[in-house]
Each structure stands twice: as structure tokens, then as C-alpha cells.
Amino acid sequence: MVVLVFLLWWKPRTLSKPLEATSGHLLDWLGLLFVPAGVGVISNLDVLRAQWVPILVGLVGSTLVSLVATAYLMQKLPHPNPDEARDNQP
């Protein structure tokens, strides 16, 4: 993601006009999308202070499980053959 951000910052013309317009509208309203999450965090600060260890273990554990599952599936699923893709192009 960081590389993508720097690439788009360095060469902003890489985005097409429709994508640029759509992303501009989404970025205009991005701050509003964080308001419900922020209100939920602030209203439950006492729970977060009391239960920070299980929350942290759950976040790290679920992240690791999803990374391992993704890596496993990427290894087991068939990969397209680049030679066949080149032969099928008109």
C-alpha cells in the first residue's frame, strides 16, 4: 500500500479520469466513515482498559490465521500458465 501511495503521488496521471472522480468523492467523505467507530471506541474505553490483553491477542491471532490461510491457499490453488495465456490472446 505504501508503494502504491508513493507511486500515485509520484505519477498522479496513472489513474484514469473516471477512477479519479470516484476516488475523489470517496476521499471527500472518508472522515465521516470513521465517526461511528470512534464513538464506539470512546464509549467503551472502560471495557477496552479492562480487556486489552484478550482484545490484542484476538487481533494478532486472527491476523496471523488469515495470513497463514491466504499463504496456504495461494500455494495450493492452481496458477495460470503464462504460456497458455499468451497463446490464447488474439
* Domain-embedded: residue 2: no
* Domain-embedded: residue 57: yes
Between 90 and 53, the more confident residue is 53
- Go through the chain and tell me how many residues it has: 90
* Domain-embedded: residue 18: no
Which band of pLDDT confidence, cut at 50, 70 and 90, is reported for residue 55? very high
Q: Tens of pLDDT along 8-22?
A: 777 766 667 777 788
What was the pLDDT predicted at 90? 56
Between 10 and 51, the more confident residue is 51
For the cut 90, the answer to whether the pLDDT of residue 23 exceeds it is no
Radius of gyration of the chain (CA): 21
* Domain-embedded: residue 12: no
Residue 56: domain span: 36-77
Provide the number of structural domains found in the chain: 1
What was the pLDDT predicted at 14? 66
Predicted model pTM: 0.51
